[in-house]
C-alpha cells in the first residue's frame, strides 16, 4: 500500500528590508525652528536673523547634504539601500533655495534709501521701532561769519535770530529693535559744530551710526546778515528772512525760500522749489519737479530738466530758461508764465522774447516787443498789445496772431499744407497747390511780421490790445485746432 508524502509548501520570497526614512528634512526643520524660537523669545533680533539667513542660508543645504552622506555610508555598511530624497524633501530644498536667493537680493537693497524716497515717517514693522530724541545747541555767532550746514537725511529750517548767537534745535528719529541700541546710536550721531576762520559748519552726523537709519531735523536761527550754504540729500529746506547770499543743494525734498535780500543759487535733484521775494539774482539748476518763482528783483536763470510744472511771476530783470526741450529768453516778466509738459502760457512779457521748443501749445498775451518763436507739434497763439518785429516758425499746428486794429505793420507769411486767413484787407493772399502766401503793409507799414508754417493754418486777426490777461486760474482763450501731437515727453 502506497503512502503519501507531504511536500512542504515553498518558502515565501524574502522581502528586502525597507530603507529607513531620511532624517535630513527633520534636522533642517529643527534648525529653522530653533532660529524662529530665538526670535520669538527676543534672544536674537529679527533683523539679525534676517541678516544671518540672507548670508548663510547655504549652510542649511550643506547640513542636509552632510546628513544624507552619513545615512548613505551607514546604509552601505549594512548592505541596504539608502533612503532617497522624496517629494517632500524636493519641495523643502526648492523652498530653501528660492527663499535664500530672495533674502540675499533683498539684503542688497538700500532700504533706508527706499524709505526716504517713499517718505515713510511712522513705524513699519520691517524697519524696526522708531525712537525720537531732542537736543538744543547754541553758541556765539560773530559778525562776518558764514554758516555751512550739511545733512545726509533730514530737514533744515533757518530763520533770523534776535541776538548775535546761533540757536539749533535738534529733532532726531532712529530706527532700532531695542531702546538700548537707539540710545547708543543717538550718542554717536550728535551734530558736530566746528569753525574754521570765518566759516561755521554744522554737520548733522546722521551717518555716525553706520548703516543704521537715523534722520535729524535741524531748526536753526542765526543773525539775519549771515550768508548760508545748505545741503541735504533726503529732506526739506526752508529759509525765511535773510539778508545774505544763499546757496542750497537738495535731493528728493521741497525747498522754500522767502524774503531774501541777497542772491540765491539752488541745486536740486528730484526736488520741488517755491521761491518768493528775492531782491537779487536767482539761479536754479539740476533736475526739478514743481518750481514756483515770484517777486524777483534780479535776473532769473533756470537750467536743467523740469519734470512737472514751472510757474513764474513778476520777474523784474531778464529770464533765461534752458532745458533739453525748451530754450527761452525774455527781457522782463510783469505778469506770469506757466509751463508744463504740453503747454506754455505767458501774460505781461516786456522786452524781447526768444523761444525755441517743441510739442507745446503756446499762448502769449499782452506782448509789447519783438518775438522770435520756433515750435513744432503744437498750436501758437499770440496777442499783441503793440506791434513789434515778430518771427514765428511752426509745424504741425496752427498759428493765430491778434494785432490791434489800428496798428501799422507789414507781413510776409507762408503756409505749406495749410491756408492763410486775415482780417486785414491790405494783405494780399495767394494760394497754389499745397502752398499759401500773404504779404503787404497794413496802416502804412511798420514792424515786420514773418510767419512760416508747415501742415497748419495761419490766421492774422484784428483784436483789441490785451491790457491784462486772465489769471493763471482762469480758462485760457480757445486755441486753433491742431492735429494730434506725438506722445508727450516728460520734460519741459
Question: How distant is the alpha carbon of residue 428 from its chain centre?
Answer: 52
And the C-alpha cell for 102?
Answer: 530672495
And the C-alpha cell for 43?
Answer: 534672544
- pLDDT of 4 reads 58
Low-confidence ranges of the chain (pLDDT < 50): 1, 121-126, 467-488
| pLDDT tens for each residue of 338-364 | 999 889 999 999 889 999 999 999 999
**490 closest CA partner among 346, 312, 289, 337:** 289
The 3-state DSSP class for residue 452 equals strand
- pLDDT of 321 reads 96
- pLDDT of 298 reads 96
**485 closest CA partner among 326, 358, 400, 381:** 358
Q: Which residue has the cell 506770469?
A: 336
* List of residues 6+ apart from 193 with CB closer than 8 A: 137, 139, 168, 200, 201, 202, 203
Phi, then psi, of 370 in degrees rounded to 5: -70, 150
Within 10 angstroms of residue 434's Cβ, the number of other Cβ atoms is 10
Q: What pTM was estimated for this model as a whole?
A: 0.73
Q: Are 235 and 253 in contact (CB under 8 A)?
A: yes
- pLDDT of 162 reads 87
- pLDDT of 8 reads 64
- pLDDT of 481 reads 41
**367 closest CA partner among 394, 407, 397:** 407
- pLDDT of 323 reads 92
The β-bridge partners of 458 are: 399, 420
For CA atoms 405, 411, 413, 419, the dihedral sign is: positive
| pLDDT tens for each residue of 174-227 | 988 789 989 999 999 999 999 999 999 999 999 898 878 899 999 999 999 999
**Residue 27 Cα distances to 21, 32, 33, angstroms:** 12, 9, 10
Secondary structure (DSSP) of 310-352: EEEEEE-S-EEEE-SS-EEEEEEEEEEEEE-SSEEEEEEEEEE
Amino acid at each position: 500500500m502506497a503512502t503519501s508524502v507531504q511536500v512542504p509548501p515553498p518558502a515565501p520570497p524574502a522581502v528586502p528590508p525597507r530603507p529607513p526614512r531620511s532624517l535630513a528634512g527633520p534636522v533642517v526643520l529643527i534648525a529653522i525652528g530653533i532660529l524662529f524660537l530665538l526670535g520669538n523669545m527676543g534672544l536674537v533680533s529679527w533683523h539679525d536673523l534676517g541678516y544671518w539667513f540672507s548670508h548663510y542660508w547655504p549652510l542649511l543645504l550643506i547640513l542636509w547634504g552632510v546628513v544624507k552622506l552619513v545615512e548613505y555610508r551607514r546604509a552601505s555598511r549594512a548592505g541596504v539601500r539608502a533612503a532617497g530624497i522624496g517629494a517632500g524633501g524636493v519641495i523643502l530644498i526648492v523652498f530653501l533655495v528660492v527663499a535664500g536667493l530672495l533674502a540675499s537680493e533683498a539684503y542688497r537693497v538700500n532700504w533706508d534709501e527706499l524709505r526716504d524716497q517713499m517718505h515713510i515717517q511712522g513705524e513699519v514693522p520691517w524697519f524696526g521701532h522708531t525712537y525720537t530724541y531732542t537736543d538744543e545747541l547754541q553758541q556765539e555767532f560773530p559778525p562776518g561769519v558764514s554758516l555751512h550746514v550739511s545733512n545726509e537725511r533730514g530737514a533744515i529750517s533757518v530763520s533770523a535770530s534776535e541776538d548775535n548767537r546761533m540757536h539749533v534745535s535738534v529733532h532726531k528719529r532712529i530706527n532700532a529693535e531695542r531702546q538700548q541700541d537707539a540710545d547708543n546710536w543717538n550718542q554717536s550721531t550728535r551734530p558736530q559744530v566746528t569753525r574754521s576762520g570765518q566759516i561755521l559748519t554744522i554737520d548733522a552726523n546722521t551717518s555716525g551710526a553706520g548703516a543704521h537709519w537715523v534722520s535729524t531735523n535741524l531748526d536753526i536761527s542765526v543773525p539775519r546778515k549771515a550768508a548760508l550754504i545748505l545741503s541735504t540729500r533726503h529732506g526739506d529746506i526752508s529759509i525765511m528772512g535773510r539778508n545774505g547770499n544763499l546757496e542750497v543743494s537738495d535731493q528728493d525734498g521741497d525747498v522754500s525760500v522767502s524774503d531774501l535780500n541777497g542772491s540765491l543759487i539752488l541745486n536740486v535733484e528730484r526736488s520741488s522749489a517755491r521761491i518768493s521775494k528775492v531782491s537779487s539774482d536767482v539761479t536754479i539748476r539740476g533736475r526739478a519737479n514743481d518750481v514756483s518763482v515770484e517777486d524777483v528783483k534780479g535776473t532769473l536763470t533756470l537750467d536743467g530738466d523740469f519734470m512737472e510744472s514751472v510757474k513764474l511771476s513778476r520777474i523784474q530783470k531778464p529770464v533765461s530758461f534752458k532745458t533739453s526741450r525748451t530754450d527761452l529768453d525774455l527781457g522782463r516778466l510783469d505778469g506770469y508764465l506757466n509751463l508744463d509738459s504740453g503747454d506754455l502760457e505767458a501774460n505781461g512779457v516786456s522786452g524781447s522774447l526768444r523761444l525755441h521748443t517743441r510739442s507745446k501749445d503756446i499762448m502769449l498775451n499782452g506782448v509789447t516787443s519783438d518775438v522770435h518763436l520756433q515750435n513744432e507739434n503744437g498750436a501758437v497763439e499770440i496777442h499783441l498789445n503793440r506791434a513789434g518785429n515778430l518771427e514765428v516758425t511752426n509745424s504741425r499746428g496752427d498759428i493765430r496772431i491778434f494785432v490791434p486794429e489800428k496798428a501799422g505793420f507789414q507781413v510776409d507769411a507762408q503756409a505749406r499744407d495749410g491756408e492763410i486767413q486775415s482780417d486785414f484787407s491790405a494783405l494780399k493772399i495767394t494760394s497754389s497747390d499745397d502752398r499759401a502766401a500773404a504779404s503787404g503793409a497794413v496802416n502804412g507799414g511798420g514792424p515786420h511780421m514773418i510767419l512760416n508754417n508747415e501742415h497748419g493754418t495761419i490766421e492774422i486777426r484784428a483784436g483789441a490790445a490785451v491790457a491784462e490777461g486772465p489769471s493763471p486760474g482762469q480758462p485760457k482763450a480757445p486755441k486753433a485746432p491742431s492735429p494730434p501731437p506725438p506722445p508727450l515727453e516728460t520734460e519741459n
